[in-house]
């Protein structure tokens, strides 16, 4: 089972970043973890004394915020103010601290720019080598209901196991979305009866694969509800999360090392963009990004 002892959360003092910090502190208290809060100074220029003065003030503001979130000091928290490109420095710091999880807000202050160029979270997922928790909601409590996208791969196994570790007391639903290929079959002249028969066969096979997959998961006595649906994964995951009122979606990704991070379109990216709840993107594979 994957550990959760070192958390790193990034902030830009936006309201969404505040939610991410609050969730990080709550998770740290739940898991006995440490939290490193990172603020990145971008475009820092001028004399070194002035930069240090700004960094010192930001650190003081962050510590006041953290004192409000964890007045009893149950979470061991450190604060760092760095300079550079946000996603690069976040990845660098996470590697230096061997963080188990990076936590970020859903997007930064400049939403339209983020849409065009990719959010900091998406860049971290593409270029980094750590799992990322993207926070959309204020954390009023621990996670209650978790939906995990499953395609029977090692990536989705890691996603389910990390989600179980992250939210051990939550209700869990494992979702596999299969395609019945109705359009292709109809175009090939298959009758309605033939299409229905084929879809029933595919659904039965998917349920059997799901049962076999769940048998491989280290979950103790934890009950996981099986969800098998027909459709497109990128659409069905967010739709079913709404139906179930999930407060966390977990999905695995190997990272696409050959595709520039500004190109969008994967299932994980779509879920990150469209989900109203928090999204845990569990990264598999070795690091691919050489830091500048």
Tell me which of 171-185, 196-210, 231-245 is least confident. Answer: 171-185
Give me the residues paired with residue 105 across strands. 135
pLDDT for res 178: 86
CA–chain centroid gap for 209, Å, is 25
pLDDT digits (tens, 9 = 90+) for 228-258: 998 888 889 999 999 999 999 999 886 444 3
Within 10 angstroms of residue 198's Cβ, the number of other Cβ atoms is 15
- The CA–CA distances, whole Å, from 31 to 27, 191, 235 equal 6, 55, 32
Weakest mean pLDDT among 36-50, 117-131, 181-195: 181-195
- Rounded-to-integer distance, Cα 92 and Cα 128, Å: 9
63 — pLDDT class (breaks 50, 70, 90): confident
Average pLDDT taken over every residue of the chain:
83
125 band by pLDDT with thresholds 50, 70 and 90: confident
Query: Which helix H or strand E contains 271, and what residues bound it?
Result: helix 267-274
Q: Where are the domains of the chain?
A: 6-283
Which runs of consecutive H residues, i.e. helices, occur in 70-188? 86-96, 111-117, 120-127, 154-166, 182-187
- Tens digit of each residue's pLDDT (9 = 90 or more) over 152-167: 988 899 999 999 999 9
Residue of 67 and 167 predicted with greater confidence: 167
Tell me the pairing of strands 278-283 and 131-135. antiparallel
- Report residue 161 as tokens: 């196991």
Higher pLDDT, 260 or 35: 35
Is it true that domain 6-283 has CATH number 3.40.50.12370? yes
pLDDT recorded at residue 39: 92
At residue 182, the pLDDT reads 65
Is 60 exceeded by the pLDDT of residue 1?
no
Region 189-205: mean pLDDT is 81
Q: What is the CA angle 289-291-292, rounded to 5? A: 135
Q: What is the mean pLDDT of residues 73-96?
A: 86
């Amino acid at each position: 089972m994957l550990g959760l002892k070192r958390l790193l959360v990034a902030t830009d003092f936006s309201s969404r970043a505040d939610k991410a910090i609050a969730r990080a502190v709550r998770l740290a208290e739940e898991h006995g973890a440490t939290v490193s809060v990172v603020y990145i100074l971008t475009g820092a220029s001028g004399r070194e004394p002035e930069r240090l003065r700004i960094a010192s003030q930001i650190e003081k503001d962050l510590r006041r915020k953290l004192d409000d979130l964890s007045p009893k000091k149950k979470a061991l928290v450190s604060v760092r103010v760095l300079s550079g490109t946000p996603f690069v420095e976040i990845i660098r710091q996470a590697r230096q601290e061997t963080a188990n999880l990076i936590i970020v807000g859903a997007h930064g202050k400049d939403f339209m720019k983020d849409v065009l160029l990719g959010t900091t979270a998406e860049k971290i997922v593409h270029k980094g080598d750590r799992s990322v928790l993207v926070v959309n909601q204020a954390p009023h409590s621990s996670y209650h209901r978790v939906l995990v996208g499953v395609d029977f791969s090692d990536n989705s196994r890691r996603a389910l196991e990390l989600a179980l570790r992250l939210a051990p007391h939550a209700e869990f639903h494992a979702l596999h979305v299969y395609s019945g290929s109705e359009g292709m079959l109809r175009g090939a002249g298959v009758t309605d009866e033939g299409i229905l028969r084929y879809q029933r066969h595919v659904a039965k096979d998917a349920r059997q694969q799901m049962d076999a997959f769940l048998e491989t998961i280290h979950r103790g006595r934890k009950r996981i509800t099986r969800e098998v649906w027909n459709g497109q994964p990128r659409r069905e995951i967010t739709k079913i999360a709404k139906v179930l009122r999930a407060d966390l979606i977990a999905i695995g990704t190997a990272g696409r090392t050959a595709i520039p991070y500004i190109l969008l379109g994967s299932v994980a990216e779509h879920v990150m963009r469209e989900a109203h709840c928090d999204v845990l993107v569990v990264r598999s594979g070795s690091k691919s990004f050489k830091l500048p």
